[in-house]
Amino acid sequence: MDGPAAKWLQVYKLKHGLGKCEEFIAAVENYFGSYDYRDVISELIALHQEGALEDYITAFVDLQYQVSMHNTGLDEIFCVEQFTSGLEADLRAGVQSHMPKRMQKAILLAKVQQQLHDSKHCKQSRSPSTVRPSFFRTQV
């Protein structure tokens, strides 16, 4: 450790000694990790899908793991609800209708909804163009 962390360690050792490893780790996490946890949980709550579904899934899972490093008791239903509420509206309704209880299921349902959404738009873009009857065409 160096800088402010080294000074913190010196003061900690004077007050507590090194004691048990678990107590020291908890003290380090309390002192240095509390802001990280607040920042990460805030990011997780504020996260919404703004682009590709895969990018949203990657960002959400990364934040979920970071939060879990600080809070191992985080309820999976909370994560599922946060994930679902951050989805684009077109996907959200389809996922919510299945009421998933696990993140794996919510992610799978979101991917299925995305495929359905994509195939629907693909079919609409391939629909035949409207042909105007000949009597509407201007004659030159």
Question: To the nearest 10°, the Cα dihedral for 50, 55, 61, 64?
Answer: -30
Tell me whether residue 95 is in a domain.
yes
Tell me whether residue 86 is in a domain.
yes
Is the model's pLDDT at 138 over the cut of 70? no
Residue among 82, 8, 74, 9 nearest 37 (CA): 74
Tell me whether residue 48 is in a domain.
yes
Tell me whether residue 124 is in a domain.
no
Tell me whether residue 70 is in a domain.
yes
pLDDT digits (tens, 9 = 90+) for 43-92: 999 999 999 999 999 999 999 998 887 777 888 999 999 999 999 999 99
The domain tally of the chain equals: 1
Is the model's pLDDT at 6 over the cut of 90? no
Tell me whether residue 60 is in a domain.
yes
Residue-range definition of the domain harbouring residue 38: 34-113
Tell me whether residue 132 is in a domain.
no
Tell me whether residue 94 is in a domain.
yes
Give mean pLDDT, residues 135-139: 51
